[in-house]
A and B are shown apart, each in its own frame.
Chain A
Amino acid sequence: MSHATHSDQDAYFIPEPSPWPIVAVASVFLTFLGLVFLINDMGLAGSLIMVTGFAILAYLFQGWFGAVIDESLTGKYNGKVDRSFRQGMFWFITSEAAFFITFFGCLYYLRNITLPWLGGEGQLASSNILWEGFQYSWPLLNLPDADTTKYVAAKEAMGAWGLPFLNTIILLTSGVTLTWAHWGLKKNNNKQLVRGLIMTIALGVLFFCVQSYEYWHAYQDLGLTLNAGVYGSTFYMLTGFHGLHVTIGTIMLIVIAVRSARHHFTEHNHFAFEAVAWYWHFVDVVWIALFIFVYWL
């Protein structure tokens, strides 16, 4: 990037003292504090504290990202700052990947180690000690402890080739439209950029709606709930955190679309666009893994 090497001559931008980080700390602390009160049924206080935390979060994003956009538009960032942002985003996504790998690892461990033991396989089998007669199969529709009232097994498993397959197609298509938008940006074709982003956002929202309907279907028709033993636990933990990331990603895409419509990006200077694109593709890849390991196999 000739543009970047040229501007490396300028001093690296060090921001002035900023109130935003401490606002972020207040937001995180209040949100968590409220959540603790809320899940322990401690009355209205929990909800109020948590809502305050979220309100500060919204104010924070408007303010902090606003300040950063301002600095970017007034040309304070040279190529080296841009590389810092890119590398920072890369390592952030790496840590996100580690977070999801944790849950996939749990799914692997439960399906291939714990449940076979409980079902009587191998030298460490515990079927005769704990719950005699438990037969292991995945998806887990019969619980190891048949008499427990704490959990209610799912009646039916979630098939892969209905709604989940539709969602796979939706997300993969959104990856294509996002890349098309990126091409538009590289060609300085703002119309293509904005259109591509709007299509991507629409597909993201569509995915969210299909996923919500799928959850409703799982609760109403399949009896697949959070209480349905580890099948339900892993299903909702993995798809839930993925859905949360789709939601965050969609909000990020909306911000980027508005900024694109205001011509904030040039073919050289568009870190924010690429960061969001990386994030969206990462969420895509997680979904592929989800489709294979949670729904299909």
Chain B
Amino acid sequence: MSVATAHDDHHDSHDHGPPKGWQRWVYSTNHKDIGTMYLFFALFMLFFGGAMAMYIRAELFMPGVQLANPDFYNNMVTDHALVMVFGMVMPAAAGMANWMIPLMIGAPDMALPRLNNLSFWLLPAAALMLILSILAPYLFPGSGGPVNTGWTLLPPLSIQNGIGMDFTIFAIHMLGISSILASINIVTTILNMRAPGMTMMKMPLFVWAWFFTALLLIAVMPVLAGAVTMLLFDRHFGTSFFDAAGGGDPILFQHLFWFFGHPEVYVLLLPSIGVLGLVIPTFARKPLFGYKALVYGMGVLAVLGMVVWAHHQYTIGMSLFATNYFMIGTILISIPVGLMLMNFIFTMWRGSMTFETPMLFGIAIILMFSFAGVTGVMLAVVPADMQYHDTMFVVAHFHYALIPGAVFGLYAGVFYWLPKWTGHMYDERLGKIFFWWTTISFNITFFPQHFSGLAGMPRRIVDYSIQYTEFNMISSIGGFLFGLSHLLFLYIIIQTIRGGKKAPDKPWEGSQIGTPGLEWTLPSPPPFHSFTQAPVVK
């Protein structure tokens, strides 16, 4: 069988440098190129989703409806979440997995390179579908208003939405296919592609973190796919899954969504825990404290994460038994999470620490993610949650969980690996400025939301009572500063790609401590094809 479109380049296909032109990227089967594309896609979506956040904060700067109509506001809230979760954090983490896992375990590439390309290129197509869903009310007048359900897509509102909801549903299908295929690839790579001697218990923590992440995705992504498929059938084909008049139940959708949605939190979190497991020992110059306990802890977290979903739904009227079960299960989560944070603190204990940018982010994660953990325990307690439910307190809680927990971990990873990826050292002074700028402005943004939430300000509403004005003004100013800091982030990345001090093979002197990956045995940047002959790990 001939490959019809791969025409004239065929004769030099044994050349081991990268192919030239656009085909290098579009047809790529190289884990480094695909990883790079994932990371740039995530960077683009960071600004896309960030622009939506800027709109939200501008709208909430003062009470009253300022900029656009409430439906548009709710549409922005919905798509800010979808873009940040599926378009930014997951692709960024997947990009790091693509780049680093084969290098760490001494594999020549991902196990299934063409599938890897498919996983990536589904993402821009899904993003296009999501953009169509935003534009649908304007492109197809009379086809219904914007998607205004929030990212949970709860019926009956999502059944009443217009064509935009159908675009959203199929965007989610494409994102889901992409995640499942990427996860299959990552699990297979980890299980089958390790170099001789690289046993499972010698793998860097990042690889373990992605192993559990990928298993979670394989288990829960199909559940979301099934749920939105039923939504589509209820919308267009007359079924009554989520309509009590026909014997269905809108609550059923909530259960399905959160059966996916809660493990999704750990999907976002675990890769960053994996990055922490490299950054903290490197800059504390001590082996990871309790490596095995951390691995088992992540496994326990993954399993527990799958059986506590209904703590997002305490107010729906579950039976007392179910409510108690979900409360206790949720509070149990603090055991593996606490274990992880304690292990990182003990790793730093009496280490000879230095505070480069990745380490600063690492320490900030431990502090601020603990804060999310504490508010998380508050929210897990049923009677208390009845008060906090659907207030800005919840918004503050999960932004403390997801920005320090997931996004700062990705920043730490970017600064930790930029020298390896580009071959240049980033500007340490600018990196530190970026760290303090984001950390301070992040706290200015989200800390006041605890107070406005406890005082009763509801989330997902365009307008608010005049008593919350000060908190929201502080929050908005912080938000604009936080948004602005990312221009510096972009500048640092471009600057590092274009030049700078040459990075040595081992840019961090502590990186060889504990369970190092094999990426440090390669030059910076590594050659286009690495480990074509498997190295042997002693």
Contact = CB atoms under 8 A, between A and B. Distances in A.
A134 to B, nearest CB: 9
Contact of A226 (B174, B239, B317): B239
B184 A88 contact: yes
B121 A22 contact: yes
Given A32-B170, A115-B247, A67 B1 contact: yes
Contacts, number: 232
Interface string A18-50: 111111110011001101100110100000000
Contact of A233 (B173, B177, B236, B241): B241
Interface string B106-129: 011101111101100110010011
Contact of A98 (B117, B193, B222): B222
B430 interface: no
Interface in A66-103: 66-67, 69-70, 80, 83-85, 87-88, 91-92, 94-96, 98-99, 101-103
B247 A25 contact: no
A94 to B, nearest CB: 6
B88 interface: no
Contacts of A67: 1, 3
Nearest to A14: B109
Interface stretch (A140-148, A168-176, A276-284, A286-294): A140-148
B246 A21 contact: no
A55 interface: no
Contacts of B173: 32
A83 B226 contact: no
B129 A32 contact: yes
Contacts of A62: 1
A25 B26 CA distance: 11
Nearest to B144: A40
B192 interface: yes
A58 interface: no
A209 interface: no
Contacts of B191: 87
A143 to B, nearest CB: 6
Interface string B244-260: 11111101100110000
A77 to B, nearest CB: 12
Contact of A36 (B4, B19, B163, B237): B163
Contact of B183 (A66, A91, A140, A237): A91
Contacts of A80: 192-193
Interface string B185-211: 101100111000000000000000000
B532 interface: yes
A296 interface: no
A237 B233 contact: yes
Contacts of A206: none
A35 B3 CA distance: 29
A15 interface: yes
A49 B484 CA distance: 41
B187 A33 contact: no
Identify the interface centre among A20, A21, A23, A113: most chain B CB within 10 Å of its CB. A21
B170 A36 contact: yes
B352 interface: no
Contacts of A105: 256
A62 B282 CA distance: 49
B529 interface: yes
Contact of B113 (A14, A85, A140, A151): A14
24 contacts: A11-B108, A17-B19, A22-B26, A22-B121, A32-B174, A63-B4, A84-B112, A91-B183, A91-B218, A94-B218, A94-B219, A98-B219, A98-B221, A102-B225, A105-B256, A115-B247, A122-B319, A130-B244, A140-B247, A145-B245, A229-B240, A229-B247, A233-B233, A236-B239
Nearest 9 CB-CB pairings of A with B:
A66-B1, A102-B226, A17-B27, A145-B245, A233-B239, A99-B222, A21-B118, A229-B246, A230-B247
Given A110-B247, A150-B240, A236-B239, 11 more contacts: A20-B3, A21-B114, A40-B143, A84-B112, A91-B218, A95-B218, A101-B223, A110-B248, A114-B252, A227-B239, A229-B248
